[in-house]
Homo-oligomer: A and B are copies of this chain.
Amino acid sequence: MTCAVVGLGLMGGSFSLATKDYFKKIIGVDHNKSHQEEALALGLVDEITDLKEAAKVADVIVLAIPIRGIISALKELSKTELKKDAVIIDFGSTKETIVNECPKNIRKNLVASHPMAGTEYSGPSAAIADLYKNRIMVVCNIEESGETQLKRAFDIFKHLEMNIKIMDAQEHDRHAAFISHMPHIVSFSIANAVLKQEDKEHIVTLAAGGFRDMSRLAKSNPHMWRDIFKENRQNLLDSIEAFKSELKKAKNMIENEKWDELYEWMKTGNELHKIM
């Protein structure tokens, strides 16, 4: 089988590395000239071409690009003659707009997926072969995908040693806001709060593991995250509101020296790790 990987950054590049022995050929597609060169030099892909050319020969097309790019690519693919039973797998971080805006004539080809994996780094050189291993792959609205396509996609995800979770797109987007998007906003807020302090250099000399964890997400790519936040705006606002309400509660207890209540509130927080 031939696979076209569209977007040769961390996600697409890591997918290529992990499926080299699965596909006979991997064709890379990327707008960015230097990503093209890097991906070839690193041996992530066998050749580079454009989406139209790649789509004609690919059995599997992976869209590892931002959400708006995925929607444009789907529109272009709907006007291209695809191979019979071609599978389109998108890795968009939000799923509702994608399943809603996918052209009807290729809806059966699409398997709307979201790998719960990543690092704070980006670009082809950030690619790692085991990025997907043992991670969750969420697959949304599977009743709208073709049976053959779904079967092939699941086989690839199993090859990646991923755990498949089936979910409604709307539900996925709400969950992703809590588990990923809001925590990014929080991490960026911590980073900016420290950077505003006059003695910031002095403050960070004290950073140990806890602070490194809490500020790691603030290394993330602002371009990519702006697009995700834009796409999932209402769910993000709801999850920020839920977080803010807890923070406010904590602040009031500290202000009013309600130490026993604060203790109980933390004890409740400890419970999270029992369900994770």
Partner-B contacts on A (CB < 8 A): 116-119, 135-136, 138, 165, 171-172, 175-176, 178-180, 182-197, 199-220, 222-223, 225-226, 229-230, 233, 236-237, 239-240, 242-247, 249-251, 254-255, 257, 259, 262-273, 275-276
Nearest Cβ in chain B — how far from A158, in angstroms?
Answer: 18
With both beta carbons as reference points, the residue of chain B lying nearest to A216 in the complex is identified as B213
A-B contact pairs, 21 of them (CB 8 A): A136-B208, A171-B199, A175-B206, A185-B250, A185-B254, A186-B247, A187-B269, A188-B265, A193-B242, A195-B272, A196-B242, A201-B275, A204-B275, A218-B266, A222-B267, A226-B266, A230-B259, A233-B257, A237-B254, A240-B254, A244-B247
Q: Residues of B contacting A136 with CB < 8 Å?
A: 205-206, 208
Is there contact, CB below 8 Å, between B192 and A178? Answer: no
Q: A216 to chain B: which residues have CB within 8 Å?
A: 210, 213
Neighbouring B residues of A250 by C-beta, 8 Å: 185, 188-189, 240
Given known A-B contacts A206-B116, A206-B180, A269 and B188 have beta carbons under 8 A apart: yes
> With contacts A136-B206, A263-B222 known, is A200 near B275, CB below 8 A?
yes
**What residues of chain B lie closer than 8 Å to A199, measured between beta carbons?**
171, 175
CA distance A23 to B16 in the complex (A): 55
Q: Considering the complex, give the chain B residue whose CB is closest to the CB of A138.
A: B206
- If A187-B214, A266-B225 touch, does A246 touch B192 (CB 8 Å cutoff)? yes
Interface centre among A119, A211, A247, A262 (most CB of B within 10 A): A247
Q: Tell me which residues across on chain B come within 8 A of A119, comparing CB atoms.
A: 209
